[in-house]
Chain A
Amino acid sequence: MITKRIIPCLDVKDGRVVKGTNFVNLRDAGDPIEIAKLYNTKGADELVFLDITASHENRDTIVDVVERTSREVFMPLTVGGGIRTIDDFKKILRAGADKVSVNSAAVKNKYLISEAADKFGSQCVVLAIDAKRRGDGGFSVYINGGRIDTGIDVIEWACEAEELGAGEILLTSMDTDGTKSGFDIEITSKVASLLNIPVIASGGGGSKEHFKDIFTKSEASAALAATLFHYRELEIPDLKEYLRQENINVRI
């Protein structure tokens, strides 16, 4: 019985956990290792560290965070944010991460996906896509933290990434992100129904029902949320118990 994954995301800046809403208004909320351990005991299925460290000289703080976390937490760990090169992949994987997610750098150089997949295996290459609705009903890929519209179609990009060797897609809807009004079922279901690789839905989760909706109305394999879990608006054990009662397979 394969289970749907519930994934808390920790935004990490200079080695500390923060979380912004719509990519601004950061609030400091603690030590990543302590929080990772806490999520572990609560039954999170994976953890994502999103490194939002801006300054170049502090870039290696995330490597240290991953190293320390992987000594104490024995669950899958994904790291994203600012990954540009194969060497970045190597550093993060060596530190103990299981997967690395790439976003802007892969849009600028799509062969980063295929090179990383060849070198480290598809299973550790996650393509993160920030998607936003266009006027014509389609969805565009945004990069640089949602600041630049690339004009690339989300569905085409997701399919191409699968062919290049991505092992998973982390799909964030910029339209729903930070709103707590529910995951973006439309784009998630479009992408997940076309791809053979797993899709993680992200952005907009605000209640237990939203998780049920995304799992029943799309083929998402996992759902990710940050502030919702971070500020304990929804506790993972309660969420999982609810999903179980709704006949959605979860690990309890």
Chain B
Amino acid sequence: MKTIGIIDYGMGNLHSVLNACKFLGINAFCSGDADKLSEADGLILPGVGAFPDAMTCLESTGLDLFIKEYVKEKPLLGICLGMQLLFDSSSEVRECKGLGLIPGKVIKLTACEKSREYKIPHMGWNSLEILNPDSPIMKGQSDVPFVYFVHSFKALPDSRDDIIAVSDYGEEVCAAVGRGNVFGTQFHPEKSEKTGLRMISAFAEII
């Protein structure tokens, strides 16, 4: 049976992702040990918190280098901050380098500057516009799925081809990305009920 490794690097709630995998009958474990994680057939990089802290945690444990090697052969799904970390850099707190697996940067949401209607964080259920319905992680999704977001920064991929889905929050928000073995969702599939669980299942199918 295939196994998902959930990367434990000291940032955020891993248990929700683990719970979702268990509920779906997917073999999964949490670990911060590269040797153990390397045995998994696919990885999930979760994360809440600030970008620089997360990179510091990854770099101090060597997990950053491990991840870069791992995705040359096997798939990885980044969730929320875990998706943002896939990019080249972020301006959260200070200019900070990311994993550089998807070309692009992470910047602060801006719609709040134009209208009070758009609170920060972007928190709640938003609909997805799926730009790449052929992406394996979108398998079985309805035309306009709703998913749960909580974030204040957004990714700006250099190439539109890497974008799987977007959402509208007074500005375009990159909601899901995919480039080769590397996938990411800005929203929380593990908190997005059936829609999100379906995405986790779809990811488990490609590992």
B48/A45 in contact, CB under 8 A = no
Cβ of A83 under 8 Å from chain B: no
0/1 interface trace, chain A 191-227, chain B, CB 8 Å (1 if under): 0010111110000000000000000000101100000
| A74–B150 CA distance with the chains assembled, in angstroms | 15
Q: Does A168 contact B (CB under 8 A)?
A: yes
Question: C-beta contact mask, A66-103 vs B, less than 8 Å → 1, else 0?
Answer: 00001110111000000000000000011110100000
B9 within 8 A of A: no
Size of interface on A: residues with Cβ below 8 Å to B? 35
Q: Contact at A5–B49, with CB atoms within 8 Å?
A: no
Q: Which of the 9-residue segments B13-21, B37-45, B98-106, B133-141 touches chain A?
A: B13-21
State which size class the interface on B falls in: 35 or more
Chain A 97-128 interface residues, beta-carbon cutoff 8 Å to B: 98, 120-124
> Once the chains are docked, how many angstroms separate the CA of A121 from the CA of B123?
13
Are B123 and A3 in contact (CB-based, < 8 A)? no
- Tell me if A40 counts as interface (CB < 8 A to partner B): yes
Q: Are B15 and A70 in contact (CB under 8 A)?
A: yes
CB of A251 within 8 A of chain B?
yes
- The interface of chain B, by Cβ under 8 A from chain A, is 12-13, 15-16, 19-20, 22-23, 48-50, 112, 116-127, 146, 148, 150-152, 167-169, 190-193, 196-197
Instruction: Sample 27 A-B pairs with CB under 8 A, ordered by A number.
Output: A1-B127, A1-B167, A1-B168, A3-B124, A45-B124, A70-B16, A71-B19, A72-B23, A74-B19, A74-B20, A74-B23, A75-B148, A75-B191, A76-B191, A95-B15, A98-B150, A120-B49, A121-B50, A123-B121, A123-B123, A167-B121, A167-B150, A196-B120, A198-B124, A219-B119, A222-B124, A251-B125
